[in-house]
Amino acid sequence: MADQQHQGPAGSPTSEKEKLGFDPHDPHGFHEGEEHGHHILSMRMLVVILALLLALTGLTVGSAQAEIIIAEELGISIPQWVNVTIAMTIATVKAILVVAFFMQLYYDTKLNTMILLFCLLTFGLFIGFTSIDMGNRDRIYSWKDGQHTPGGTGGLGLERGAFDSDRNPRRTTVTGPDGEDTGRTRRASEEVAGAITDYSADPDVARTRIDADVLERLERYQERRRAQRPAASPNRVTDLSSPRLFAPPDDEDGDGNN
């Protein structure tokens, strides 16, 4: 409903509208769909939504507890992705209920829905590409094994032998402090991470290793430069102890003066 004062000063707006075929004070018809923002939810609807939300909370807690009970009583270990999928599906349904009805997006202009969906799209890109990257590093590194030197990731998965012939991460059993079997396994990349931690714990060993590494790289670099260097010209002085470098050519007694 438009404000009565807004109908304009001249005459009856209805007759004017009928005469012209459009409302001269609202030629684009902005006021025709004005009521969309003012949907009044019924109390029954609100209570039903709250009851659904509470029931779904109970369901998600219950399913998580059921997984523990099944694992402990029956000895059946449900894969983790099942638990995650159930919990995230229930959370998504709950979020949709809150957004659509408590936040009234269902009754709102479609523009607000588009704003939210675009935001969720960017969130999807963010988490999607990050997951693709993180989830596939093992495979990428085994494929590139030997071409890399340990770098920014702290050497995760970069060492030779971290993967078996099927390019799966090699897992070794973890032993406890007294050498007992803990029943857990870990990836070679985690061993590498551990090894690096131990190695930096001993500064002397670390320095030796780093010095050796730097020297080896330097040598390789110099070799490469030597190979690339053009053939020495006869005028080039390669012997740094040659008196030609420091003494003038006619310095007979070699005291630096003519």
Partner 1 sequence: MTSIETGGNPPQHNQQPPALSTEPRWKRQPFANHWRSHAEDFDACKIGMWLFLTTEVLLFAGIFVAYAVFRMWYPEAFANGSHHLDVHWGALNTVILLISSFTVAASIRNAQLNQQGLLKINLSITLVCALLFMIIKFTFEYAPKWAEGKRPGVWFSYPFAADPNEHIWWSLYYTATGIHALHVLIGAGVLFVVLLKSFKGWYGPKHYTGIEVAGLYWHLVDVIWIFLFPLLYLIH
Contact set with partner 1 (CB under 8 A): 2-3, 5-6, 26, 30-31, 34-35, 37-38, 40-41, 43, 46-47, 49-50, 53-54, 57, 60-61, 64-65, 67-68, 71, 80, 83-84, 87-88, 90-91, 94-95, 98-99, 101-104, 108-109, 111-112, 115-116, 118-120, 122-123, 126-127, 130-131, 134-135, 156, 184, 186, 194
The one-letter amino acid code at 73 reads E
Q: How far is the CB of 199 from partner 1 (least distance, A)?
A: 15
The least CB distance from residue 21 to partner 1, in Å, is: 20
Nearest CB to partner 1, comparing residues 34 and 219: 34
CB of 129 to partner 1, least distance (A): 10
Looking at the Cβ atoms of 20 and 103, the one nearer to partner 1 is 103
Q: How far is the CB of 213 from partner 1 (least distance, A)?
A: 26
CB of 180 to partner 1, least distance (A): 15
Distance in angstroms (rounded) separating the CA atoms of residues 3 and 154: 67
Q: Annotate 26-53 with DSSP letters as a single string.
A: STT-TTTTGGGG-----HHHHHHHHHHH
Nearest-angstrom CA–CA distance, 122 and 126? 6
Coarse DSSP helix, strand, coil percentages of the chain, rounded to the nearest 5 percent? 60, 5, 35
Query: Of 125, 123, 121, 165, which is closest to residue 143 (Cα–Cα)?
Result: 165
Nearer to partner 1, 193 or 247 (CB): 193
Rank residues 49 and 247 by Cβ distance to partner 1 and give the closer one: 49
Contact 174, 186 (CB under 8 A): yes
Pairing relationship of beta strands 181-187 and 171-175 according to DSSP bridges = antiparallel
